[in-house]
Each structure stands twice: as C-alpha cells, then as structure tokens.
Amino acid sequence: KEAIEAMIREQIVEKLVELQRSELGGDLIDVGNYEETETVTETEEGERQQGSGKMKREESREKYLETHPFASCVARFAVQLEVGEGLRQREKRAFKQEILRRVREASVSDAEA
C-alpha cells in the first residue's frame, strides 16, 4: 500500500499519461491495425517466396509492444493494481478512483481521458 501511495505522490499517473501520449505510446486497440500483410517463406529448395498473410494475433501484439512499449500503460498500471496482492478491495477501489481523477486532470481532452 505504501509503495502505491508513494508512486501516486510522485505523479506516476501523470508521467504514464505523458508516455502514452508520446510516439512510443498509443492504445492496445491499435494492435489490429498493425498486422503485417506480407510474409516471407522459404521453400524446401531454399528459395524465398513472398506471400500474403497475416501475423498471428499474439505475434502481432508482441511486435506492436516492441515498437510501442507505453501503449495503454495507464490501463496496464490499473490492471496490475487490481490483480496485486496485499490490498483490501476498498483500498483498490480508492486507488482506482484516484488514478481516474489524475488521468482526467492530465488529459488534454475528454476523448483522451
């Protein structure tokens, strides 16, 4: 509990919002738009062939996160808080409300919040 309070005091939520807003940020919902359409396969004879296809969903997500490490970082922080141990349910709710309040304050528009 003390660690989470210290992170909030040090404005972690505001920093995460800024990182999510940066070029390395984004939203995990954009993963679907990030799939590759061209794949390269190698035949038994060693020839390389280009074909049309889509990456597997997990590969696409991993590749997106490699290039956008701060995508949905505020939401991921809140999820980690939710699944974390050592907090009572009402403490988790209070922290989530505080996170939401700080996200609203740090957002430049209602759509971003």
**More confident: 45 or 70:** 70
Dihedral (CA of 12, 111, 98, 76) sign: negative
Beta-carbon contacts of residue 42 (< 8 Å; ≥ 6 apart) = 48, 49
Domain ranges (residues) in the chain: 2-106
Residue 20 has pLDDT above 80, yes or no: yes
- Mean pLDDT for 58-70 is 77
Residue pLDDT, tens place only, 65-82 = 788 778 888 888 888 888
Q: What percent of the chain has pLDDT over 70?
A: 66
